[in-house]
Structure 1
Amino acid sequence: MRIYEQVTLGEKILGDVILKNGLIHAIGQNLSDDEEAIVIDVKKKYITPGLVDMHSHAVISSWPSLSSTDDTVEDTHPITPYVRVQDAIKPNDPEIRIIASGGITTSLVLPGSFNLMGGEGFVIKMRPVDTVSVDDMGINANIDKEKEKVWRWLKMACGENPKRHYGPRKQIPTTRLGEAWLFRKYFAKAQSLKQKQDDWCNAATKLSNNEQLNSYFPEDLELESLVALLRGDAKLNLHCLETFDIETMIRISLEFNFTIAAIHHALSAHMITDIIKKRPKNNITIATFSDIWGHKKELFQASTKAPKIFVDAQIPVALKSDHAITNAQHLAYEAAKAYHYGLDEHHSLAAITSVPAKALGLDHRIGQISLGYDADVVVWDSHPLSLGATPLEVYIDGIPQFNTSLRILSNETSKKSLSNNKPKSEFTEKPAKSRTTSSAILKNIGKIYVDKNHTLSSEEGNINIIVKDGIIECIGINCIIPSNISSYEIIDLEGGYVLPGIIAVSPALGLAEIELESSASDGQVVPISSPYDSEDIIYAIDGIKLGGKHLESAYKAGVLTAVTAPISSKSVFTGISMAFKTGARSNHIPTVSGQISLIRKSLIKNFAQQNIFGRVARGDIPLIVYVDSKDEIASLIKLKILVKNFGGNLKLVISGGAEAHMIAIELAKNEIPVILNPSRPTPRLWTAQHVLTGPPITNKTGIEILYENNVKIGIGVDLFSLGFNSYLLGFGSERNLIWDAGWVSRNSKGLISQKDAVGFITWNLEEIIGLNMSNGLLKGNIADFVAYNGNPFDISTKVKIVAGGGRSDILIDPEQD
């Protein structure tokens, strides 16, 4: 098959690319074609090489997540270098198509990180093959192994995960001391075996024609992969985060003379760039996240500036998904966030293309649009680093994966490109220093979203906001500048936007600093002793701890209100704020039907009482139920109707809502709002198989269908605890809520306006949860807003001002850690 395309290349060159026989056949301008060519004029759209994800657990921890299909880690012993991911990959896993729809064409699938030596990974192309063969999906399928180096990829881990997993079993390693000893012990065994093999080979070369050795070639299948590493035939991918853990592993690598290809996660590594760069014999790649942090100790020192620090130190940096810790479908979003936090455009794109390709030893085939490379090419609907950028078509080995019509590929895109309104000069200029003031005048405002009914725009005239001692003195067109202007700080927004303070419906914000550390967390709710009574209900407010790093991070991003329920993994009733998890496991109420029955009995029994259940049944406070399944949501709709027949007014709120779009009409009819957690759900659970993942797989998403059917919508922080990892996926991501809202608007094809999207994280949540906040963007009110230096839905826009959120001072130029 041959495809001829007119495109804008990563180097910003307008030209043509010819894909032929699975390879990139030609690159240039006005290339000639022939009658066999399929010619696609993509109207100067951006194309990139296929994205390379160098850390994924996809296809060994399948969607939907089931114990029968989870083969992530052989956690029966901390040393298992001999197991192979290749033996557990499921070539018909639905994850493959979803991940490929984000432009990911190649993934390194690795074992999990409970074991010090986890086993051997496997690199696959993210496309199904007719043979339904794992081997045929492999990157090395059909290559000439005599002419081309065939790499192997090992996974090892250090730090919290192994000691946290094996420590409770009273099995080594319970400490990092034990970890280091086991590493050295087994590397010494492999080193000894390698020496015996070398001695055998040396002796064999000295034999005469009639002589033979008295022993067979020394082999040990359990150590074979480690010997391959010592011989330089395998690339080591090391899960390691703390500075001292990284230094320990570098020390061991020097002791046993092996190289580390990449240190993964490495969320403290930006503090020791000299150690990483100068001590090892090889140039280590850092494979990291852009902004994940905080749910355990070894993630707590993470910095959004880290990718740029590595680049400045000339250390290669790759961004990866760790799927399903983050959804690999949105790997480009990781790069976009790194770009927002200061990594330049070139290195941000390289971090998901050429850098991981080189770290895998595959940069001669993938990661670039170059002659003779694999024909892995992505056509984007906008700049791949812009918020919500989505592939229109993905070619893997020259084969289109989604059969996008020529009409769609040839259409002009309605999305704007990256940084359309200003140059990225902040990457070279010294950023403004963060500071506070009590009074300020905001001028040159482009737009103010006052509330759901009012928007002010610069098209109506020059609009300003004047804040005096934390109180809004004036907002709008006719503000008179005070005579004592010297007592105000003048802030030029340069056409930027002002929003009400963002509301975060979050799983643990304010209750936990390090979610996996009991001393740094409020702990988890124990199932109440008497399920129908209210005396044992937990109140989140009793455990709130102010001033922590998570709250500060959210505050700096304009999240000024948090709605938090007590942390729970086992209780049906988690407490006030009345967050109910009908899909959670419970020691006392094991079935979903039993959980809904418990809720029904508790409400009906207490209907006339003044306790918390009676107040819920009468509609004094909302009942928030965490649920994804359409069938379970339907049962809850019936519950609301039943309570109504008893004379009640149950204010039911669906949280989660992955399949809520399937019964959107009934939700709207019964005035039941939905808080989507997350806003872009995946079929990771059996009870969430019917999600709509969006283009190029589905024309619409669930949130669009809910919106079309007039369901009131909010967006919250992901509450789900991922199967083999007990921590909360969204913990620490409250600061990204503005991008979650922007993503929805930018990809709705004009259906959902920017104002509507702002409402999803502000006034809609205020109404859904019944916060009845008196603050607002009105004269005389306490200043409670966030201002940006541009459109907040542009990934390059920064937060300029944060006012309110319980503080009297106004924070100017906040900077994320």
Structure 2
Amino acid sequence: MAEGDSTVIDAQGAWLTPGIIDMHSHLSVESSPGLSGAQDGNSIKGPVVPWLRALDALNTHDEGFLHAISGGVTTSLILPGSLNAIGGQGYVMKMRPTKERSPTSMLLEPPYGLNGSDPDPNVPPRWLHMKHACGENPRNYGDTRMDTVWAVRNAYNTARAIKDAQDDYCAKATSGDWASIRNQKFPESLQWDAMVEILRGRVKVQTHCYEALDIDNFVRISNEFQFSVAAFHHAHEAYLVPDVLKRAYKNVPAVAMFSTFSRYKREAYRHSEFAPRLLAKEGIDVVMKSDHPAIVSRNLVHEAAVAHYYGLPEHIALASVISTPAKVLGLDHRIGFIAEGYDADVVLWDSHPLALGATPTQVFIDGIPQLPNAHVAPKPAEHQRAPSTPDFSHEAAVTLKYDGLPPLTPKRKEGVVVFTNVTKFWQADASQDDVVDVFGGHHPGDPGVVAVERGRVVCAGSHSVCASRLAPADAEVVDLQGGAVQPGLTSYGSSLGLAEIALESSTGDGRVNDPLEPNQSALLGLGGYLAKAADGLQFGTRDAWLAYRSGVTLSVTSPLHDGWLSGLSVAFTPGAPHRLAQGAVVRDVVALHCTLGHGDPGPSVSTKIAVLRRLLTERVEGELGGWFQQVANGSIPLVVDVGSADIIASLISLKKEVEQKAGSTMKLTIASASEAHLIADELADAGVGVIVTPPRSYPYTWDEHRILPGPPLSSDSLIGHLLKHNVTVGLGPHGIAAPSHPDAAHMAVWSTRNLRFDAGEAMLDAGSGVLSKSKALALASVNVERLLGLEFDPEDRDLVATIGGDLLDFGGKVAAVISPRQGVVDIFV
């Protein structure tokens, strides 16, 4: 290449990787924003539809393409959904737009014949991918597992009969036995052609299977009909049965999986965060995937980073989203590596790709830059190397010992516990408005000590200052190895504590009635009622324990609902054994909650706001009216889950109207708030704060299509922008669906444990100087509490001790919860 034709980029020592490859995505077949006319992920025509093609549903207007690129994703396998036992054909796409603007032009190595090309039997095939699904998902047709397995076997038997007939025809033709086939056509079927090609080894099988029994079923089928399986997807129990995987026909399938997304249904109940490391130890290829939009593909590298945090080696974690999926897709001859002759799909990063919040500064697809104006703030120096992660060897071994369900209860200590080698001690200040470093400029040569008795800090300072507290013979000493003590986090936005398994109704509280629904029971009274989440609480759920063991010491949960009015939330301790235990229920009633969105079930948005106006400005008799009067006079907050800036503006106007009439200040908090940046000044002027969920905005619905995506697509993140405009901001965990989706709160439960990483990532996305670590901790603790009307004496706040780092990085491991509410220290190490 001539010098004048080249562009030289000085990377200044930055990390450069091949493009990220998402091996399980529904991008463009389940489009964003989620308009009904653009959702083509599943067929409802029957359990077996191998003749359907995802290509025929690829929507190139999906806003998710640019978001995927902003996370470094350059290539994705686009699969049909999982409602069918055999759901159809998947295709590999490059993410970049083309001049032709067509789906066909975005395909990578389209299979022979698709574009008029002729297959050449002397060269490797251009791979087609066939989506299969096992277990619960095909039950949408009323099928049991036995029905589903029979449907799959019958389909393969049909394909095998066609293949055998073809082979017989060809054998007679090549032997010159023309008389036998003179009046016969070559046996073929357009419907079953792709299945026949599976048996000929020219189509890769990608199968959605969760549990051991489903994996075993599919392995038996692969041997019965002699076809290889490219990968088991989701495969939450694969780590428990590596020998079953190794029995699959001809090759050991890869496992395409999540890091911590689990327990949302029975099949996912035994998933473990240690699954990637355990599978890799068995020599099984590990692929981290998004299942976009279940996890937005922009965050795929974060999935690999979390797997690395829990013990997946650095090189395997990076390979899990780069070279391993390239190999499994049969495309490692052109993607997944930076080498001469390979596609120029490369990503330049602002930090090590496995560092928290790693962001591309440029993404090249086929040598073409995709981010003309990348906005990236400088990252700390320590982010330029792979994170130094904790040792979870013991926890991983115990997980296997207990068949995926290890004990999660801590060792409880009421007496003296002394934490040594403490680098930082953050605590809420007396005003409850911020989190401050108690140690301040503590000299690093004099190790910090925090001494605790009956769950309360009795001394914090240097070793010499707290020496008298180290004397009791029964004192337990926990070495934090340079770690930290910080406020426990407060979760809002999930249904934590209302179900053991989110989508198993028999394990949960259920959904409350919508008061706007007709034909309400007379038992509810003329004025209606409001459900209290406190009445449906469940303690000891695995998600609650995992959240607690990850630093979440308080959860505010509102009742589940399908309509607009949820009910009254409760504040509880996820680590309490039952609701009657000391400190279990922190506040019986916290706030009144409702949801407003265009396209939500029931009457119009304007009707619902009219009802709110009446309930807040008139004396409506009954329980419902009584609670709304408490909102109107400022006794409890009204929390509205809403994305649209227009609806938020209407709520601000309603607040002013109520205040003018009542003569008191109404507490209004906006949750979700995806478009809140559009009216940030108005929110600040009205004294309305927001709890941002999810932490990184995404255009799930039309109400959220005007988002501020954050770096590298915008210089400001939503959180950073709101803070700059003096809006009080709290943070909620990631879910898997639009916040207005009826299952959003349920499906966010698993992610509560990752709130610590969400807060750390929000700190980095907000840009330099916007959020310090102390303010980022406040974002997920005191700020959320203030927005929900919760106020605590600093001495009554739970604290979290971490080994080796803090809650906001990949170096810290939660060692204990210091709980004055419960009067104990819960120790996990």
TM-score, length-scaled by structure 2: 0.88
Q: CA deviation at 1:88?
A: 0.8
Structure 1 residues 138 and 158, CA gap change in structure 2 (3 angstroms): same
Q: CA deviation at 1:152?
A: 0.6
Give me the whole-angstrom Cα distance separating, in 2, the residues matched to 1:660 and 1:62: 23
Structure 1 residues 725 and 767, CA gap change in structure 2 (3 angstroms): closer
Q: CA deviation at 1:608?
A: 9.6
Give me the whole-angstrom Cα distance separating, in 1, the residues matched to 2:550 and 2:766: 24
Q: CA deviation at 1:724?
A: 9.8
Give me the whole-angstrom Cα distance separating, in 1, the residues matched to 2:412 and 2:201: 55
Which residue identity lines up with residue 501 of structure 2 in the other structure?
I
Aligned length: 767
Partner of 1:645: 660
Partner of 1:23: none
1:481 to 2:500 alignment: no
Please show how residues 541-552 of structure 1 align to structure 2 within 5 Å. 541-552=534-545
Partner of 1:746: 764
Which residue identity lines up with residue 547 of structure 1 in the other structure?
G
Q: CA deviation at 1:700?
A: 1.3
Q: CA deviation at 1:810?
A: 2.2
483-492 or 210-219, larger mean C-alpha shift: 210-219
Q: CA deviation at 1:793?
A: 2.5
1:789 to 2:776 alignment: no
2:83 to 111, 114, 117: 114
Which residue identity lines up with residue 491 of structure 1 in the other structure?
V
Q: Contact between 1:789 and 1:799, CA under 8 Å: does it hold in 2? A: no
Structure 1 residues 683 and 424, CA gap change in structure 2 (3 angstroms): closer
Give me the whole-angstrom Cα distance separating, in 2, the residues matched to 1:391 and 1:601: 50
Q: Contact between 1:571 and 1:584, CA under 8 Å: does it hold in 2? A: no
Please show how residues 534-613 of structure 1 align to structure 2 within 5 Å. 535-576=528-569, 577-583=591-597, 589-606=602-619, 611-613=626-628
Partner of 2:141: 166
Q: Contact between 2:311 and 2:389, CA under 8 Å: does it hold in 1? A: no
SS of residue in 1 equivalent to 2:60: coil
Give me the whole-angstrom Cα distance separating, in 2, the residues matched to 1:476 and 1:662: 45
1:446 to 2:423 alignment: yes
Give me the whole-angstrom Cα distance separating, in 2, the residues matched to 1:211 and 1:159: 45
Please list the CA deviations of residues 634-672 of structure 1 after superposition, one character each: whole Å capped at 9, or x if unmatched: 000001001011124221100000000110000000110
Partner of 1:457: 439
Partner of 2:109: 140
Q: Contact between 1:555 and 1:805, CA under 8 Å: does it hold in 2? A: no
Partner of 2:405: none
1:630 to 2:645 alignment: yes
522-531 or 175-184, larger mean C-alpha shift: 522-531
Q: Contact between 2:287 and 2:325, CA under 8 Å: does it hold in 1? A: yes
Q: CA deviation at 1:495?
A: 2.3
Which residue identity lines up with residue 668 of structure 1 in the other structure?
A
Give me the whole-angstrom Cα distance separating, in 2, the residues matched to 1:720 and 1:624: 21
Give me the whole-angstrom Cα distance separating, in 2, the residues matched to 1:360 and 1:431: 29
Please list the CA deviations of residues 26-67 of structure 1 after superposition, one character each: whole Å capped at 9, or x if unmatched: xxxxxxx83432111111101111011000000111110011
Please show how residues 62-101 of structure 1 align to structure 2 within 5 Å. 62-101=31-70
Structure 1 residues 257 and 209, CA gap change in structure 2 (3 angstroms): closer
Give me the whole-angstrom Cα distance separating, in 1, the residues matched to 2:561 and 2:215: 33
Partner of 1:299: 268
Partner of 1:150: 126
Please list the CA deviations of residues 353-392 of structure 1 after superposition, one character each: whole Å capped at 9, or x if unmatched: 1111111111111111222211110000000001000000
1:258 to 2:274 alignment: no
Q: Contact between 1:204 and 1:213, CA under 8 Å: does it hold in 2? A: no
Q: CA deviation at 1:525?
A: 1.2
Structure 1 residues 431 and 454, CA gap change in structure 2 (3 angstroms): same
Q: CA deviation at 1:532?
A: 11
1:700 to 712, 716, 736: 716
Structure 1 residues 562 and 483, CA gap change in structure 2 (3 angstroms): closer
Which residue identity lines up with residue 161 of structure 1 in the other structure?
N
Partner of 1:521: 508
Partner of 2:457: 472
SS of residue in 2 equivalent to 1:732: helix
Q: CA deviation at 1:197?
A: 1.1
1:713 to 2:729 alignment: yes
TM-score, length-scaled by structure 1: 0.89
Partner of 1:25: none
Q: Percent identity?
A: 36
Give me the whole-angstrom Cα distance separating, in 2, the residues matched to 1:431 and 1:162: 32
Please show how residues 184-203 of structure 1 align to structure 2 within 5 Å. 184-203=153-172
Partner of 2:636: 621
Structure 1 residues 782 and 474, CA gap change in structure 2 (3 angstroms): farther
1:394 to 2:379 alignment: no
Which residue identity lines up with residue 704 of structure 2 in the other structure?
A
Give me the whole-angstrom Cα distance separating, in 2, the residues matched to 1:788 and 1:693: 33
Q: CA deviation at 1:432?
A: 12
Q: Contact between 1:572 and 1:595, CA under 8 Å: does it hold in 2? A: no
Give me the whole-angstrom Cα distance separating, in 2, the residues matched to 1:280 and 1:538: 54
Partner of 1:19: none
SS of residue in 2 equivalent to 1:281: coil
795-804 or 640-649, larger mean C-alpha shift: 795-804
Give me the whole-angstrom Cα distance separating, in 2, the residues matched to 1:295 and 1:534: 35
Partner of 1:677: 693
CA RMSD of superposed structures (Å): 2.6
SS of residue in 1 equivalent to 2:481: coil
Please list the CA deviations of residues 579-619 of structure 1 after superposition, one character each: whole Å capped at 9, or x if unmatched: 211128666x4211111111111112237988211101111
Structure 1 residues 675 and 319, CA gap change in structure 2 (3 angstroms): same
Structure 1 residues 437 and 539, CA gap change in structure 2 (3 angstroms): same
794-803 or 38-47, larger mean C-alpha shift: 794-803
Q: CA deviation at 1:281?
A: 2.2
Which residue identity lines up with residue 563 of structure 1 in the other structure?
V
